[in-house]
Amino acid sequence: MNATGVPRRKPRARAESGPVLVAIDVGTSGARAAAYELDGRAAAEVRRAYPTELGADGRAEQDANRWRSASLSALAGLARELGRGRRIEAICLTGQCPSVVPLDARDRPLRPGLIYRDNRAVAEAIAIRRQFGDRLIHDRTGHLPAAFHVAAKVLWLRAHEPAIFAATRRFVEPTDFVALALTGQNVTDWTIATASALFNIRERRWDDLVLDGLGLEPELFPVAHPSWAVIGDLRPALLRRLGLGYSVPVVIGGGDSLACAFGAGVISPGPISEMAGSSTCLNSVVPEPLADLDVTNYPNLLPGDGYFTEVGINTSGEAVDWLAGLAYAGRSGRPTGADYARIDAEAGAVPAGADGLLVVPVLGDGERDDPNLRGAAIGLSLRHGRAALARAVLEGVAFGIRARVETLGMAGSPATELRVSGGDARLASWNQIKADVLGIPVVRVAGDATAAGAALLAGLGIGVYRDPAEAVAVASRPDQPIQPDPETHRRYDELYPAYRKLVASHAIHVGDEA
């Protein structure tokens, strides 16, 4: 038996026709299905993109039907690519959060989903904080409500779209919606539920005090399970569509950043995981929730004691995508891998400090903890070309990461190293910049730790691995640490206060709450 209480299956030797564990990631830019061998090696991956609709009012919406259709299409494509020689042992879900869509009585979306970057619910978040008090709501839910959270988004819908709210049978997040399609079960996991700011992190259930105070019924939300729980098997119609002649268990999984931390081997205090995707999430493991109101806390994604923390940045990788499209992609505006390689090379050739150019790359019409913050660049000159701009953008994100790592440290979770994974971990110059800005080693985790972590969670759920430590020992393969250069770190120590001063400036804040 393993820690999950199910019979343990011994990992098998690697083989081209061997069994695989599958992760479905319902992400910000699209959905993907990825297969991993039991020793953690990637076997195949299929992606399906979908767009985000943005508005100057802070709107950030996605068609929830695309969450489902893209996920199922990616899974079908993966099954075809794997062929009949590869048995899918289990599927696990992960994805963006907190994002939400209201469903009607037939589980159809009533409107587009509001993703985590939607910042229209500022007034509702403030009202929640005033009603309960910051300390009480943070102690109970692990979060300080912001427009970022599901709680505020639900109240915004009730206030601004009352007909939609009245017709809603339940609110679900992207992975919940896909779980419903895969199994027919109305379920979520503890970590996705916690991202709502409506879930009691210690009691592991929807918080009656908060729900009652906000006039919300618990039936409006899915049944919450541990992240490693098997919630059912693939529906027979899906098995036929995928050409599978056997049952496939589905593990509910958890938030993408926490799956990433597991895939990066962050299962105990000390290292901090950075999920370097469209947004940046920084996660650490702590024995008890941290009291600092600037840190969010989650129940453990994994069997055992402890909690996960999180701080983050909304538009980090997307800032680099913006730069690539603006300055490197030519007339098409669609950057390729070669364009990102040029960014890496050119930024790496510019000395620290980007020749006096300082950028705050907050490009999503607000930050998760500061909806009124906007992006800025100061020190621009005719002498600056795109290489200096590239260096300044990478440094600006690194400064933002340093600010949040410092928050974790002061709250009681100091960092011994930063483990970077995701698409932007491929930029070697950026990894060195992060090491130099933070003054700690940076370890690149090859591949995609988010999908790998979800696949490992699938293995935990069905007993392939005895416990999280065995899963990491079998499947995690981090690169050698990138050490900070002492002289460059001292240079960034001199520049960092200017970044903090610019972020705090009223000149780059908008709105009534500025």
pLDDT tens profile 206-221: 999 999 999 999 999 9
CA 130/CA 214 separation, integer angstroms: 12
CATH code for the part of the protein at 20-265+446-475: 3.30.420.40
Any idea how long the chain is? Answer: 514
Query: Is pLDDT above 60 for 6?
Result: no
Number of CB atoms found within 10 A of residue 475's CB: 24
358-360 and 376-378 beta bridge pairing = antiparallel
Residue 8 pLDDT: 47
pLDDT of the residue at 498: 96
Nearest Cα neighbor of 93 from 175, 191, 201 is 175
At 195, the pLDDT band (50, 70, 90 cuts) reads: very high
Dig out the tokens for 322 from the structure. Answer: 């913006």
At residue 46, the pLDDT reads 97
- Res 453 pLDDT > 80: yes
Q: Which residues are paired to 417 by β-bridges?
A: 271
**Residue bearing the bigger pLDDT, 455 or 513:** 455
pLDDT reading at 514 higher than 60: no
Fold of 317-444+484-508: Nucleotidyltransferase; domain 5 (3.30.420)
State residue 511's pLDDT score. 74
- Residues 8, 228 contacting (CB under 8 angstroms): no
Q: How far apart are CA 103 and CA 108, in angstroms?
A: 5
Q: What pLDDT, on the 0 to 100 scale, is given for residue 5?
A: 45
Asked if pLDDT for residue 370 goes beyond 80, the answer is yes
Cα–Cα dist 328/386, whole Å: 8
What are 19-45's pLDDT values in tens digits? 999 999 999 999 999 999 999 999 999
Calpha distance 21→145 (Å, rounded): 35
Beta carbons of 284 and 306 less than 8 angstroms apart: no
pLDDT band at 16 (very low <50, low <70, confident <90, very high): low
pTM, to two decimals: 0.89
Q: Are both 20-265+446-475 and 317-444+484-508 of the same fold? A: yes
| Long-range contacts of 135-140, Cβ-Cβ distance < 8 Å, separation of 24 or more | 135/293, 137/197, 137/210, 138/291, 138/293, 139/289, 139/291, 140/200, 140/201, 140/202, 140/207, 140/209, 140/210
pLDDT of the residue at 7: 43
Mean pLDDT on 149-154: 98
pLDDT single digits (tens) 381-415: 999 999 999 999 999 999 999 999 999 999 999 99
| pLDDT higher than threshold 50 for residue 2 | no
Backbone angles phi, psi at 140, to 5 degrees: -80, -45
Task: For the chain, give every domain's residue range.
Answer: 20-265+446-475, 317-444+484-508
> Is residue 305 scored above 70 in pLDDT?
yes
User: What does the pLDDT read at residue 317?
Assistant: 87
